[in-house]
Amino acid sequence: MTDQLALLKSRGLLVDNDTAALNYLARIGYYRLSGYWYPLRVIDTETSLQQNQPVRFDHFMPESHFEDVVKLYVFDKKLRLLALDALERIEMALRVDVAHLLGAKEPCAHLNPNCLHGNFAKKAIKKGPNKGKTEHQVWLEKYDTMLNRSRREPFIVHHREKYNGGLPVWVAIEVWDFGLLSRLFEGMQYADKNRIAQKYGLSDGEQLAKWLKSLNFVRNVSAHHSRLWNINILELSSRSAGWPLINHSRPFMYFAIMAHLLAVICPNSSWTQRLITLIHSFPSSKNGILSLQDFGVVEGAIEWLGHFQK
């Protein structure tokens, strides 16, 4: 740890308290913290232009402080916890929505290709490791894996002993994760997706399907303790009508989606206000380099976010 701290100092990172810095390096780790001091490193303009992407030197910009790095790490940790809090509620609500709708068709509608969209349930994949299978078959394989992991859960043991058959969808949802839920929702029939989407103020079920895929990406980042605040979102969604021009490749938009959904699921929740409070606590660095723009906040966006709070 002493050598690592000495290296950071030699590259221009200012350390106000060596003992505290060594403690953070020991508890959090050099390489985990490196993602948080990366924005404070000097940009290699020439190489960045050649490669058409930001490239940075090892040394730091003037007035870069180790303390700023730690504050940013703590902010990001709080952001991840806030995301997981919202996503748990969204997952539970959507599970019930899907179970009620599919269960009205037949108890095991999630297993029946005829209850799902043809492109998902009957169209073969043309290339890749799952070539020849349908998306539904791939989904069923993942579902069976999760079901096997939960096979000793009392509710599964009870149902199998009593009914000796496939789990009805209102029981099966208890073993789904967010990814399995979002993938099945995407594979539902258009009318069914639209019906659920309308509950959340959306006319298009396809938009909600994309939202869920994006939120699953955010969930995976958060659950694996990865850096979230300025990450590039790989599963992109479109803005809802009437929303400001938010960058859809940055996390802020997906926190706005969470706020939108939670306004329906639990309208009296303080979640959106807690998000706004956290955003206002963003630890701008002493040299002014760290910015909420990297999170995706644009002018007026925080005030606009408040309209989701009852």
- Looking at residue 310, its pLDDT comes to 67
242 and 289 inside one domain: yes
Please indicate, yes or no, whether residues 120 and 258 belong to a single structural domain of this protein. yes
- DSSP codes joined into one string, 281-292: T----TTS---G
CB 171 within 8 A of CB 80: no
Which of 41, 64, 87 is the last residue before a domain boundary? 64
For residue 75, what are the CA distances in angstroms to 154, 216, 253? 39, 21, 18
With beta carbons less than 8 A apart as the criterion, state whether 140 and 184 touch: no
pLDDT at 31: 94
Label residue 193 exposed, middle or buried (CB < 10 Å: 0-12, 13-18, 19+). buried
69-106: burial string, b at 16+ Cβ within 10 Å, e else: bbbbbebbbbbbebbebbbebbbebbbebbbebbbebe
**Could you give the CA distance from residue 35 to residue 24 in angstroms, rounded to a whole number?**
14
189 shares its domain with 248: yes
Give the phi and the psi of residue 58 in degrees, each rounded to 5: -75, -25
**16, 121: one domain:** no
DSSP three-state, residue 124: strand
Residues 167 and 282 in one domain: yes
Q: pLDDT tens track of the chain, all 310 residues?
A: 899 999 999 999 999 999 999 999 999 999 999 999 999 999 888 887 888 887 888 999 999 999 999 999 999 999 999 999 999 999 999 999 999 999 999 999 999 999 999 999 999 999 999 999 999 999 999 999 999 998 888 888 888 777 777 889 999 999 999 999 999 999 999 999 999 999 999 989 999 999 999 999 999 999 999 999 999 999 999 888 889 889 999 999 999 999 999 999 999 999 999 999 999 999 988 888 899 999 999 999 999 999 887 6
Domain end (from 14, 43, 64): 64
Of 24, 45, 64, the residue at which a domain comes to its end is 64
Same domain, 107 and 233: yes
Is 135 in the same domain as 236?
A: yes
In terms of domains, do 107 and 139 share one?
yes
Same domain? For 131 and 42 the reply is: no
Q: What is the pTM of this model?
A: 0.93
Which two three-digit tokens encode residue 295? 């999170």
Pairing relationship of beta strands 56-60 and 41-43 according to DSSP bridges = antiparallel
pLDDT at res. 87: 98
34 and 78 co-located in one domain: no
Same domain, 192 and 45: no
- Distance (Å, whole) CA 17 – CA 66: 9
Number of domains composing the chain: 2
Structural domain including 15 reads 2-64
CB 241 within 8 A of CB 197: no
- For residue 254, give both structure tokens: 């997906």
How far from each other are the two terminal CA atoms of the chain, in whole angstroms? 48
- Shared-domain flag, residues 95 and 161: yes
Give yes or no for a contact between 231 and 218, defined as CB atoms under 8 angstroms apart: no
